[in-house]
Amino acid sequence: MIVFGDTRRAYNIIWNAWGSYKYEPFYKSMDFKGKVNLYLNTIIGLSYKYYGKSFLEELFNLWKDDENANRYDNLAWLILESSVYEKEIKSRPVLWEIRRDEAENFLDLSNDLARKKIALWDHFVYSMIYKRKAEILERKFF
């Protein structure tokens, strides 16, 4: 497997958090501007580390053909993020800072249009993500 550019950077972040370079990740995360998302790719790698490749693939395959697959994917990542963050924060204190930065980026007014697209696509998922980001920043939810 040969990958370049932003995909390569995202994979390296995932592999570093995972502690393994054996497999190609089946997910990578980019921010609203198309840049590699350091925090969420770290979360993807930590999810591989704690739950394993087989478990994650089986989990996401449960609904891959469902019309609500994107909704389920997003909700699963919210749960996984919370879980692996709690498992890893003591050994990786920088997670707090990059988690906060990612939440600030999500809620930044310059990303308002991109957030509205998420809200139009699935208001429930948008509300859950927005609520999580607001909680991280200790802000009121709506």
In whole angstroms, give the CA distance from residue 14 to residue 27. Answer: 9
* H runs (alpha helix) in the chain: 5-18, 38-51, 53-61, 69-88, 94-107, 112-121, 123-136
Query: Does residue 48 belong to any structural domain of this protein?
Result: yes
**What is the model's pLDDT at position 118?**
86
User: Is the model's pLDDT at 141 over the cut of 90?
Assistant: no
User: Is the model's pLDDT at 142 over the cut of 70?
Assistant: no
Q: What is the pLDDT of residues 84-128, one digit of tens each?
A: 999 999 999 999 999 999 999 988 877 788 888 888 889 999 999
Structurally, how many domains does the chain consist of? Answer: 1
Query: Does residue 142 belong to any structural domain of this protein?
Result: no
Query: Does residue 72 belong to any structural domain of this protein?
Result: yes
- Show the domain range for 93: 5-136
The DSSP secondary-structure symbol of 102 reads: H
**Model pTM?**
0.90
Measure Cα distances from 42 to 15, 58, 109, 116, 140 in Å: 8, 20, 24, 25, 26
Query: Does residue 67 belong to any structural domain of this protein?
Result: yes
Query: Does residue 103 belong to any structural domain of this protein?
Result: yes
Q: What is the pLDDT of residues 49-79, one digit of tens each?
A: 999 999 999 999 999 999 999 999 999 999 9
User: Is the model's pLDDT at 2 over the cut of 80?
Assistant: no
Beta-bridge partners for 30: 36
Instruction: Compute the radius of gyration of the chain from its Cα atoms.
Output: 15
